[in-house]
Amino acid sequence: MKFSSMRSAIVIASVVAGSVIPTQAFAQFDVFSSVNELQYGVNGTSTSTYLFNSSMILNSIDFGTATISSNGIPTYFSNLILSYQVGTGAYQTVDNSLLGTVDAKGYQRIYLGELNVAAGTEVKVRIQGNHNMAADYTLNAASNVSYLGGNPDFGNAGRFYNSNLRVYNPGSTVPGASVAPEPGTFALALTGGVALIGVCIRRRRNAA
């Protein structure tokens, strides 16, 4: 009987702990649902400009840093300076050592954590040095981000790009994002859990 009561207390404690974990949906989106390989040479600086149509969290940026040969082997461009600008703020230079591995199209990802970007804000991605841009893309409407074009545009404004963004909705949870319940919710759940555990302990004593 003692074992049964103690097991009940443990189960209740587990339920209480689970009740303070957010259950919001996991949802993140790439601005371009598909991109092409980087093929158009830039001798200097390129800039891609994105417009946030609603408040979103900028999770990561994919920078075009390599070219992929016909046998699938990437050739990295050297001495590239990678940076991004949010709104009218200063350009933030990326630490290249933090970039992820190159993907099949020649992009490398840098994670930014939880960078809140308000509706109506432009985000610019800049690459300095000899590198390539890509052309033609499929815009993901679910990202709530528009593409305003790349510079240079090679005579086709809005077509060329050097990057891709990954965003998610404020309030949703993604791997690596900090998730913390509101203090009031946690306190209420904890108080109720302690009371329920106390009931189980009293029942165990009465049955002894």
192 and 156 in a common domain: no
77 and 11 in a common domain: no
103 and 12 in a common domain: no
Residue range 77-101, pLDDT digits in tens: 999 999 999 999 999 999 999 999 9
Q: How confident is the model at residue 73 (pLDDT cuts 50, 70, 90)?
A: confident
- The sign one gets for the Cα dihedral 136, 139, 145, 146 is positive
SS3 160: strand
Residue range 17-49, pLDDT digits in tens: 444 444 344 589 999 999 999 999 999 999 999
199 and 161 in a common domain: no
Question: Is pLDDT above 70 for 159?
Answer: yes
37 and 10 in a common domain: no
Element (H, E) at 194: helix 183-207
Residue 175 lies in a domain: no
Residue 187 lies in a domain: yes
pLDDT of residue 3: 46
pLDDT of residue 173: 63
- Indicate which CATH number applies to the domain containing 112: 2.60.120
Residue 79 lies in a domain: yes
pLDDT of residue 203: 54
pLDDT of residue 10: 44
50 and 8 in a common domain: no
Share of the chain above pLDDT 90, in %: 58
Structure tokens at 103: 């993907």
Residue 124 lies in a domain: yes
Q: How confident is the model at residue 157 (pLDDT cuts 50, 70, 90)?
A: low
Number of domains composing the chain? 2
Is residue 206 packed enough to be buried (19+ CB in 10 Å), middle (13-18) or exposed (0-12)? exposed
Residue 38 lies in a domain: yes
Residue 174 lies in a domain: no
191 and 114 in a common domain: no
Instruction: Give the range of the structural domain holding residue 190, as residue numbers without chain letter.
Output: 2-21+181-207
Higher pLDDT, 37 or 192: 37
Can you point out the beta strands (E) in 65-205? 66-68, 74-76, 81-86, 92-93, 107-117, 122-135, 138-139, 145-151, 160-161, 163-168
Question: Is pLDDT above 90 for 123?
Answer: yes
Query: Range with the lowest mean pLDDT among 36-45, 65-74, 125-134, 189-198?
Result: 189-198
145 and 66 in a common domain: yes
118 and 50 in a common domain: yes
Residue 95 lies in a domain: yes
Is residue 189 packed enough to be buried (19+ CB in 10 Å), middle (13-18) or exposed (0-12)? middle
Residue 47 lies in a domain: yes
